[in-house]
Amino acid sequence: MSAPRPAPLTGALLPPGSTLGILGGGQLGRMIALAAANLGYRSHIYGPDADPPAGQVAAAATIAAYDDEAALAAFAAAVDAVTYEFENVPAATVEFLAARKPVRPGAKALAVAQDRVAEKTFANGRGAATAPFRAVDSRADLDAAVAALGLPAVLKTRRLGYDGKGQAMIRTAADLDAAFAAMKGQPAILEGFVDFTAEISVVAARGVAGDVAVFDPVENRHRHHILDVTIAPAPALPAATALRAQTIAHDFLIALDYVGVLAIEFFVTADGALLVNEMAPRVHNSGHWTIEGAETSQFEQAARAALGLPLGCPLRRGRAVMLNLIGDDAHAHGRLLLAEGAHLHLYGKAEARPGRKMGHVTRVLTDDAVPAEAAIAALRAAVTPSAR
């Protein structure tokens, strides 16, 4: 109409109206799809489960197994780029899709994050400390590992663990047989016990052009091995430790030639050491606060990265607290809609099973008048009035 338009900034940038393929149809895929929609993009969900929560907000959904090559080929043909909401996507699935369309993050990051031994070896190779560990493939390996690391220690499957699943605490030699049996013959890892004072995490992103955006470190508190509360920024974390955690995230993104969102969980020990605990090559529960609490959410960063767009600004809009709604907690939605400052998110899951992540609620604090602990207590009181 008026002046001619300049060319797009980069050939990699997928134009609005393009379709983002998302492997996995749970709440993380759902929130990525919502963020992509805000930017004018369609989403296409792929996964084996009927009526995926993410399918309710996506332009298309394919219900098929991860090894169904006909379905995968049709999915690849229908989308313009692929990302995933969970790190246990079979490597063969990613390989099949990556031959057809960009898959972001790529296979290299996925391979590292899928295996606890590879993950810790990678971290140590980058100069980042972890708990001491040994690979355990046999009962003899376990005995040798215990001799090397001492007790207590934690035995974990190398793959497919989450929310405390596939883990066994070993306090004394009497626990060894049961712990080894609990691995059900899968390759395992023994991790030396870490006496930490806080668990923190950093969520960071890297775009196709190499741009990096790192959110502030947050503190995470768990209940029954499931994330309960996130506080942003992590309170009482020394500035040098916060910067060190962000620097590690930045370095990992570069080292893995990463495109997408990466979450790194750390232990902070009593003497101030920072130990990498786990990495997730995806958006992360500890980043949910960014929807209201940051200029750009982790979900928008994931969509931008996968679609070849530049990343957005990761700065905080204030302090934030996030409370997970597990199982029956979601029944408090009526009160949470009225709770001061509360931003309620429910995930569209039909059945509130115990331990199931049904939603979360975030409050952003823009002045110092309300301590984070008081904000958490107020949200918790809305979830369970009898606990007051």
SS3 state of residue 377: helix
219 labelled as ligand-binding? no
Q: Taking contact as CB under 8 A, which single stretch among the options 49-57, 147-155, 192-200, 241-249 is the one that binds its own copies?
A: 49-57
Q: Please state, in angstroms and as integers, the Cα–Cα distance from residue 220 to each residue in 74, 228, 300, following that order.
A: 40, 7, 22
Q: Does 11 bind its own copies (CB under 8 A)?
A: no
Among 50, 99, 236, 350, the residue binding its own copies under the rule CB under 8 A is: 350
Residue 114 annotated as binding site: no
Is 50 a binding residue for its own copies by CB under 8 A? The answer is: no
Q: What's the chain's Rg over C-alpha atoms?
A: 21
* Bridge-based pairing state of the strands 196-206 and 260-269: antiparallel
69 belongs to an annotated ligand binding site: no
Which CB atom, from 90 or from 327, has the smaller least distance to its own copies?
Answer: 327
- The one segment of 52-60, 170-178, 265-273, 282-290 that binds its own copies by CB under 8 A: 52-60
Q: Is 57 annotated as a binding residue?
A: no
Distance CA 249, CA 246 (A): 5
CB of 254 to its own copies, least distance (A): 21
**What letter would DSSP give residue 260?**
E
Query: Which x/- pattern over 363-382 shows residues binding its own copies (rule: CB under 8 A)?
Result: ---x----------------
Q: Which is nearer to its own copies, 238 or 355 (CB)?
A: 355
Residues 302-331 interacting with its own copies (rule: CB under 8 A): 304, 309-310, 312-313, 317, 327-328, 330-331
- Whether the CA torsion 52, 92, 310, 321 is positive or negative: it is positive
Give the angle subtended at the CA of 279 by the CAs of 310 and 99, to the nearest 5°: 60
Please give the order of strands across the beta sheet that includes 60-63: 60-63, 42-47, 19-23, 81-84
Return d(Cα 321, Cα 362) in angstroms, integer. Answer: 6
Indicate the angle between helix axes 298-306 and 27-38, nearest 10 degrees: 70
Among 112, 128, 234, 332, binds its own copies (CB under 8 A): 332
- Which one of 29, 166, 260, 359 is in contact with its own copies (CB under 8 A)? 359
Classify 136 as helix, strand or coil: strand
134 annotated to bind ligand? no
**Cβ at position 149, least distance to its own copies in Å:** 36
Extract the runs of DSSP E, i.e. beta strands, from 158-302.
167-170, 188-192, 196-206, 212-214, 218-223, 226-232, 260-269, 274-280
Segment 284-303, which members bind its own copies (CB under 8 A)? 295
State yes or no: 184 annotated in a binding site: no
- Is 162 annotated to bind a ligand? Reply is yes
Q: Binding residue per annotation — 165? A: yes
CB atoms within 10 A of CB 70: 8
Q: Is 265 a known ligand-binding residue?
A: no
Could you list the residues known to form a binding site, using ranges.
116, 156, 161-167, 191-194, 199, 222, 277-278
Interacting residues toward its own copies by CB under 8 A? 1-6, 8-10, 13, 15-17, 30, 33-34, 37-42, 55-59, 295, 304, 309-310, 312-313, 317, 327-328, 330-335, 337-338, 341, 344-348, 350, 354, 359, 366, 384-387
